[in-house]
Amino acid sequence: MRIFVAGGAGYIGSHCCKALAKAGFELVVYDNLSTGHREFVKWGPLIEGDIRDGESLTKAMRETRPDAVMHFAALALVGESMVDPGRYYDVNVAGGLRLLEAMRAAGVDELVFSSTCAVYGIPETIPITEATPERPINPYRASKLAFERMLKDFEQAYGVKSVRLRYFNAAGADEEGEIGEWHEHETHLIPLLIEATLGRRPPVSIFGTDYPTPDGTAIRDYIHVEDLAAAHLLAVRHLAAGGAPAVLNLGTGRGDSVAQVIAAVEAACGRQVPLTRSGRRPGDPPALVANPSQAASVLGWTAARELRQIVADALHWHAANDHSPRAAAL
C-alpha cells in the first residue's frame, strides 16, 4: 500500500511515517514546511505544497496514486487561534475540504485523521469516552471538530471512510533518537521541563497548584508518540480490510499530574527543574484522562509505554538536539 501523508514533516506525522516505512508501506509526504521540518522527511519523497492549494493536492494525488491518506496538516496553538481564528478555519477547515476534494478527484476514499481530545472541551466526567459531549471552547478545538463533521458528511454522500483519532497528550520521541518533538513555539510541558533543566530555557511556569487532585496539580493523559504511530498503522489497516468508519480516543487511561511529570524529569536528568508557580489558567480542567477501550476493541490497540519511558526518550532526543530559542540566537 502507498499512503499519502499530509503534514508528514511534523512531530506526529514524521513518527507515523517511520512506523509506516518499518511496516513495509510506501509513502509520500505532502507538507509546506511551515511548522514541519525537512530533516524529518526520511522515509519517503517530499512534495512541498499547502493543504489549501487544491490544484497542487489533486496533482500530487493523481501522480502518486495512494491507497489511503493520513492527515496531520493543521495549526494547533490554542492561544494563537484565539487572536487569529480566521487563519485556523482557513487551514484546518478550508484546507481539510481541499484535501477531501483532491481525494475524490484522485479516487481515494480512505483517510486517517489526526484529531484531538480537545473537541470535548471541559468534560463533566472522567475518564472521557467517545460518547462524552463535544463542547469545544476555542477556535482551534472548534476547527478540528468542524473537519470531523465534514468527514461524516463526506462518508454519507460520497463513501469516503475515515478513522478519526482523538489524541490526548502526545509526548516523547523516537526510541532510536532519529526524530523528536521540535516546535518553533514550544508549549508542551515535557519538552519545556527538559530544556529548562538542561539550561536552555528560563524556569517553567506551573499554572495551578490547588486543583482538587491528590497533589494539587492538573492531571493529563500522556501518550508516547510511538504508541500514537502504532495506532495510525492499525487504523489504516482497519480501513484497508473493509473496517467501518470510527472515532477513537487514544490515551493510556491512567493520567499523570504535573507534579509527577516534574518528578520524572528530575529523576531522568539527575537535577531539579527550575520552576515558577502561578495561578490557574482560565479553562484548564483539573483532569483530562481517556477511556481508550474503544480503540482496543476496534483496532486491538493499547498504549505500551508509561511516563518514565516517555521522559527518557524525550530527554535522549533533546540532549542531542538543541532547537531552543537560546540555540537559535547563537
Residue 290 per-residue DSSP state: B
CA gap 106, 15 in Å, rounded: 26
CA gap 40, 33 in Å, rounded: 10
Tell me the C-alpha to C-alpha distance, in Å, between residue 221 and each of 253, 254, 261. 7, 6, 11
User: Which of the residues 11, 30, 89, 140 is marked catalytic?
Assistant: 140
CA gap 301, 124 in Å, rounded: 26
Q: Which three cell numbers stand for residue 55?
A: 490544484
Helix locations, 172-324, DSSP H: 189-197, 225-240, 258-269, 293-299, 307-320
Q: In degrees, to the nearest 5, what angle opens at C-alpha 307 toward C-alphas 15 and 80?
A: 60
- Amino acid at residue number 206: I
CA gap 6, 71 in Å, rounded: 5
Residue 128 phi, psi (nearest 5): -90, 125
Start-to-end C-alpha separation, the chain: 44
Give yes or no: 30 in active site: no
CA gap 154, 150 in Å, rounded: 6
Catalytic residue ranges = 140
